[in-house]
Amino acid sequence: MKEATPQTIYLKDYTPFGWQVDSVHLTFKLAPEATRVTSRIRFTPDPAAPAQDFFLHGEELTLIRAAVDGVAVTPEVTPEGLRCAVPDGPFLWEAEVEIAPASNTALEGLYMSNGMYCTQCEAEGFRKITYYPDRPDVMSVFTVRIEGAEPVKLSNGNPGASGDGFAEWHDPWPKPAYLFALVAGDLVNHPDSFTTRSGRQVELNIWVRPGDEGKCAWGMESLKKSMTWDEEVYGREYDLDIFNIVAVDDFNMGAMENKGLNVFNSSAVLASPETSTDANFERIEAIIAHEYFHNWTGNRITCRDWFQLCLKEGLTVFRDSQFTSDMRSAEVKRISDVIDLRARQFPEDQGPLSHPVRPESFQEINNFYTATVYEKGAEVIGMLKRLVGDEAYAKALDLYFARHDGQACTIEDWLKVFEDTTGRDLSQFKRWYSQSGTPHLKVAESYADGTYTLTFTQHTPPTPGQSDKAPQVLPIAVGLLNPNGDEVVPTTVLEMTEAEQSFTFEGLAAKPVPSILRGFSAPVVLDRSSSPEERAFLLAHDTDAFNRWEANRDLAREGLVAMITEGAAPDEAWLDGLQKVIADEALDPAFRALMMGGPSQSELAQVLHGRGITPDPEAIWTASETLRDAKARRWAGLLPRLADEAAVTAPFSPDAEQAGKRALGGAVLSLQTRIDGGAAAEAQFKAADNMTLQLTALSCLVSAGRDEAALGVFERQWSGDRLVMDKWFALQIAATTPDKAVERAEALTRHPAFDMKNPNRFRATLGGLAMHHAGFHRRDGAGYRLLADWLIRLDAVNPQTTARMCTVFQTWKRYDPDRQALIRAELERIAARPGLSRDVTEMVTRMLS
Ligand code: B3K
Ligand code: ZN
C-alpha cells in the first residue's frame, strides 16, 4: 500500500521524459497470487528532452530479472521505481516482474473481482503492473499476449492470434499507459455491430458474468447512439475493428475509457426494467456516451500531464451533456446539471478543498478527479461556446482534432485553437482555469426615459492559497419581459469582463422585468434580492425554462429560510402560483416533477452559512418536512388528477417521455403518502412491474414508517441481485427520520450482505448515511463517529474510495462550534492513524488546514 509520503508535485516543474517509447510488448502469465508480467520495450533517446537518469515507475512489484539489449542488469530499485544505466542510443529494455492480483483490494493496477482479472490504470496504476514511464505524455504502440486458462482474455486494440490458453492483442494507436487494460475470466458477451460512416465494420460486445446477459441491451443501444451522435455532431469516427465493454462488480468509480476496452462498474452498464430505475437508465446512457467520447477527447488527444486533466474530462463531460440534451429534454438536463453542480461543486469551491479547474500542485492525483475538474471544467467549455458562438465552436473543435491528433496536450493548446479560429484574445478567459472559487454576481437596475440599465458587480471570495482574485469573463444571458408578461428583449449574451460593468437597453416603453443568467450561462452565485412578486412573475411568464425553475427555487429557498430562522408559515400564495405550473398539462411532466421538489437540506445549510447564519440541521429537516406537508394539503385536490396523468399504460420504455411521467408520479406519490399514510404507496408497491415504481413506493413506505414488511419482501425478492440490493441498503437510510439514520446504517454494516471491499455497497451504506443531512449531523456526533470508524477500516483496504468519501466532511466549518469540534476530533483521529494512505493523508490535511 502507498504509505504517506507527503511529496508535492507542481505543474511548473514539468519536464519531458528523456526517451521515446517505440514499442511495448507485454506477456501476462495469469495466476491469482503470482502473475508474471514480461515486458520488452524499445526506447530511443529524445534529443529535445533535458539530460536525466533512466527512471521507470514501479510500485509493489517483485522484480525477477531485467536486461538491457539482452544483457542482464541489476537496477537500483526503490518503492517508487527503478534507476538503471542505459546506452546513449536506442536500446531494448526487458523485465519480468511478479504481482498478486488476488490480494489487490485497492482496485488499482491488475486485480480480481469475483474471479475475473481486470485492470484500472488511470491515473497511475500501470506502475503496479510493470516498470514503465507511467506518465500520460509517453505514448506508444502496445502488443499484448495473455496466457491463462480463462476462456475470455481481452486487451486493447484489435485481436491477434489466439489458441489453447493464450490470446494476443495489438493496439495500433499510440497511447499512454493509463489507457492500458486487460480483462480475463469466465465471461459471456452480448454482441452487436456498427458500420461507421466511412464503411468500417466494427464488432461490438458487452461482456458480463454468466447470468447478466439479459441486462445488456440498453447499454448496447446507448453505445450505438453515442457512435452515431459523435459522427454527426463532432465528425468523429471510431478507429478500431472492435469495441469491447466489460462489466465489473468491484470498481472504484463509474467506468474507464481504456482504448477499445472500456471497463465499467456493473452499476453503470447493466440494466433491465425490473431491476433498474429510470435514473439508472439515464445514467448508463450518459456514462456509456462519456467513455465512448473519450476515444477522441482523451485517447486520440490526451493530456501532457495530470494537471491538464480537465482538458479531457471537462470536454468529455460537456460532450456527454450535449448528447443527453439531444437524446432527452435539453431543459430538464440543464436544470439537473445545475442542481448537481450546486450540490457537489459549489461546496468544494467554497470550502477547504477548493482548487482551480487546472490545479497547480497535488500529492495524490486520484484526489483531483473532482466536481471542479469535471463539472466546472465542463461549465467553462459551455461558457467558451456561448462567447464564441456555435459555428466558431465547431470550427475550433475541427482544428483541435486536426492539429493535435496523436498528441499529449495542454490547456494552452486548447485555448489556442479558439484564438486561432476566432482571433479573440483569451488570456482573461484563461483565469477560469487558474482561479479557484465561485464568483458572486450582484445586479443593480435603473430605468429612465425608455432606457434600462443593468449594472453588474463580480467578486470571488478568497480560497485556500488564493487571497486576491481578478475579474473573470462572464457570459451573462439576459432576456427582458414587459409588465404584461411578453418578452420584449429575447435572450442576449452580455460579456462582462470588468469588476463592475453596465449594459444598456434602449427604446423600452416601460420598466421591464429582467430574466438574468438564463440557462445558468455562467457558474456563479447570483446575489440578487428581487421581490417575491417579481419572482412569481417570472415563475408564471419566463420563456426560459431554466429561469422559470430558478424563480421557483428562489421562492422555495426564501420561504424555507423564513421558516427556519423566523418560524414563518409556508407561503401559501407561492404554493398556489406553483400549483398552476404543476397542473399545466402543456408542460413536460419531467419539468413539473423538478418544480415539485425543493432545495436539498444540504443546500439550505450552504445558503444559511453564506448569509452568516449557523445552520441547524434539525431545524432544516423540520422546515423541509413542514413544507412538504403543506404542499400535500394545499395540492390535495390536484394530486389524483396528476397521478392519472402520470400513469403509463404502454409497455415499459426508459425513454424521456415515460421516465418524465414516472418522475411526476413519484413526486405525487410522496405527497399523497403524507395524506393517506401510505395506502397508495402500498398498492403501487404490490402492483409494480418495474424498479422505478417499486422503489418509489418502497421509499414512501419507509418514510411513512410502514416499512418493516415491505423491506422484507423486497429483500427476499432481490437478495440475489447485487445492484438492487445496493438500492435496498441506501434507501432505508435515506428515507428514514434523522434519529434513526445512524442506527440503521450501523445495523446494515452488520448485515451478512454488507461487504466493505465492494465500493458500491460501501457507498450505498456509509455514503447513504453521509447523504442524510440531519441524520449524519446528529447533535451527539454519532454519525461522524460511525463514518470515521469505517473510513479508518477501509483505508487499509482501498485508499482511493476512502479518500473520496472523506470529502463528506468538507463542509464542516458551516456548522456550530460543538459540531465542528466533534468533526475535527474525528478528522484528527483519522489523521493520527499509523500507516494512513497518501490519498487520505492529503484529503484530511487539506480539510483541517
Ligand atoms: N477517466 C476515468 C476516471 C479515472 C479515475 C481515476 N481515479 C473515468 C472517466 O472520467 O471517464
Ligand atoms: Zn471522463
Encode pLDDT of 591-637 as tens digits: 999 999 999 999 999 999 999 999 999 999 999 999 999 999 999 99
Q: Distance from the CA of 222 to the center of ligand 1, in angstroms?
A: 19
Ligand 1 near 256 CB (within 6 A): yes
Query: What is the Cα–Cα distance from 79 to 174, expressed in whole angstroms?
Result: 28
Both 457 and 513 in one domain: the answer is yes
Ligand 1 near 368 CB (within 6 A): no
Query: What is the Cα–Cα distance from 697 to 670, expressed in whole angstroms?
Result: 8
Residue nearest to atom 4 of ligand 1 (CA): 122
Per-residue confidence (pLDDT) for residue 708, from 0 to 100? 81
What residues have CB less than 8 Å from 326, skipping those under 6 apart?
229, 233
State the CATH number of the domain containing residue 723.
Answer: 1.25.50.10
Residue 586 lies in a domain: no
472, 502 Cβ separation under 8 angstroms: no
Both 163 and 222 in one domain: the answer is no
233, 195 Cβ separation under 8 angstroms: no
Q: Distance from the CA of 822 to the center of ligand 2, in angstroms?
A: 36
Residue 459 lies in a domain: yes
Ligand 1 atom closest to the CA of 291, numbered from 1: 11
Ligand 1 atom closest to the CA of 254, numbered from 1: 8
Q: Distance from the CA of 599 to the center of ligand 2, in angstroms?
A: 28
Q: Distance from the CA of 122 to the center of ligand 1, in angstroms?
A: 6
Residue 330, SS3 per DSSP: helix
Q: Distance from the CA of 290 to the center of ligand 2, in angstroms?
A: 6
Outline where 509-611 has alpha helix (H).
532-541, 545-566, 572-583, 589-596, 601-610
Residue nearest to atom 5 of ligand 1 (CA): 122
Residue 646 lies in a domain: no
**Which-ligand-closest: CA of 315?**
2
Ligand 1 atom closest to the CA of 123, numbered from 1: 6
Angle at 613 (CA atoms; ends 609, 617), nearest 5 degrees: 75
Distance of CA 32 to the CA centre of its chain: 32
Ligand 1 near 37 CB (within 6 A): no
Ligand 1 atom closest to the CA of 287, numbered from 1: 11
**How does DSSP classify residue 846?**
H
Both 417 and 334 in one domain: the answer is yes
Ligand 1 atom closest to the CA of 294, numbered from 1: 11
DSSP letter string over 249-295? SS-SSSEE--TTEEEEEGGGT---TTT--HHHHHHHHHHHHHHHHTT
Residue nearest to atom 2 of ligand 1 (CA): 256
Residue 199 lies in a domain: yes
Ligand 1 near 171 CB (within 6 A): no
Of 306, 280, 311, the C-alpha closest to 294 is 311
Q: Distance from the CA of 254 to the center of ligand 1, in angstroms?
A: 8
Residue nearest to atom 1 of ligand 1 (CA): 256
Residue nearest to atom 8 of ligand 1 (CA): 256
Q: Distance from the CA of 26 to the center of ligand 2, in angstroms?
A: 26
Both 291 and 314 in one domain: the answer is no
Residue 768 lies in a domain: yes
C-alpha pair distances (Å), 9 with each of 12, 359, 544: 9, 11, 45
Ligand 1 near 108 CB (within 6 A): no
Q: Choose one of 107, 119, 256 to mutate for the ligand 1 pocket test, by most ligand atoms within 8 angstroms of C-beta.
A: 256
Pick from 159, 186, 213: which residue ends a domain? 186
7-12: Cβ within 8 A, 24+ apart: 7/363, 8/361, 8/362, 8/363, 9/361, 9/362, 9/363, 9/365, 10/360, 10/361, 11/305, 11/307, 11/358, 11/359, 11/360, 11/361, 12/360
Ligand 1 near 522 CB (within 6 A): no
Ligand 1 near 122 CB (within 6 A): yes
Ligand 1 atom closest to the CA of 298, numbered from 1: 1
Both 259 and 357 in one domain: the answer is no
Ligand 1 atom closest to the CA of 313, numbered from 1: 10
Ligand 1 near 257 CB (within 6 A): yes
The parent domain of residue 181 ranges over 1-186
Residue nearest to atom 3 of ligand 1 (CA): 256
Q: Distance from the CA of 258 to the center of ligand 2, in angstroms?
A: 11
Low-confidence ranges of the chain (pLDDT < 70): 1-5
State the CATH number of the domain containing residue 226.
Answer: 3.30.2010.30
Of 436, 386, 380, 433, the C-alpha closest to 410 is 433
Residues labelled as active-site residues: 291
Ligand 1 near 364 CB (within 6 A): no
Both 497 and 362 in one domain: the answer is yes
Pick from 482, 505, 527: which residue ends a domain? 527
Per-residue confidence (pLDDT) for residue 5, from 0 to 100? 55
Both 37 and 131 in one domain: the answer is yes
Per-residue confidence (pLDDT) for residue 707, from 0 to 100? 78
**Which-ligand-closest: CA of 319?**
2
Both 182 and 204 in one domain: the answer is no
Both 171 and 216 in one domain: the answer is no
Both 365 and 273 in one domain: the answer is no
Beta strand ranges found along 51-123 (DSSP E): 54-57, 62-68, 71-72, 76-78, 81-84, 91-99, 109-113, 116-120
664, 699 Cβ separation under 8 angstroms: no
Ligand 1 near 253 CB (within 6 A): yes
Q: Choose one of 178, 369, 839 to mutate for the ligand 1 pocket test, by most ligand atoms within 8 angstroms of C-beta.
A: 369
Residue nearest to atom 7 of ligand 1 (CA): 366
Both 360 and 457 in one domain: the answer is yes
Q: The cell 457512435 sits on which residue?
A: 227
Per-residue confidence (pLDDT) for residue 4, from 0 to 100? 43
How many domains, in total, are found in the chain?
A: 4
Q: Distance from the CA of 369 to the center of ligand 2, in angstroms?
A: 9
Q: Distance from the CA of 184 to the center of ligand 1, in angstroms?
A: 21
Residue nearest to atom 9 of ligand 1 (CA): 256
Ligand 1 near 123 CB (within 6 A): yes
Per-residue confidence (pLDDT) for residue 2, from 0 to 100? 46
Residue 641 lies in a domain: no
State the CATH number of the domain containing residue 66.
Answer: 2.60.40.1730
787, 830 Cβ separation under 8 angstroms: no
Per-residue confidence (pLDDT) for residue 479, from 0 to 100? 98
Ligand 1 atom closest to the CA of 255, numbered from 1: 8
Both 381 and 496 in one domain: the answer is yes
Pick from 133, 152, 186: which residue ends a domain? 186
Distance of CA 328 to the CA centre of its chain: 19
pLDDT digits (tens, 9 = 90+) for 117-160: 999 999 999 999 999 999 999 999 999 999 999 999 999 999 99
Ligand 1 near 285 CB (within 6 A): no
Q: Distance from the CA of 335 to the center of ligand 1, in angstroms?
A: 24
Ligand 1 near 369 CB (within 6 A): yes
Residue 786, SS3 per DSSP: helix
Ligand 1 atom closest to the CA of 800, numbered from 1: 7
Ligand 1 near 313 CB (within 6 A): yes
Residue 798 lies in a domain: yes
State the CATH number of the domain containing residue 512.
Answer: 2.60.40.1840
**How does DSSP classify residue 428?**
T
Residue 602 lies in a domain: no
Per-residue confidence (pLDDT) for residue 600, from 0 to 100? 97
pTM: predicted TM-score of the whole model, two decimal places: 0.98
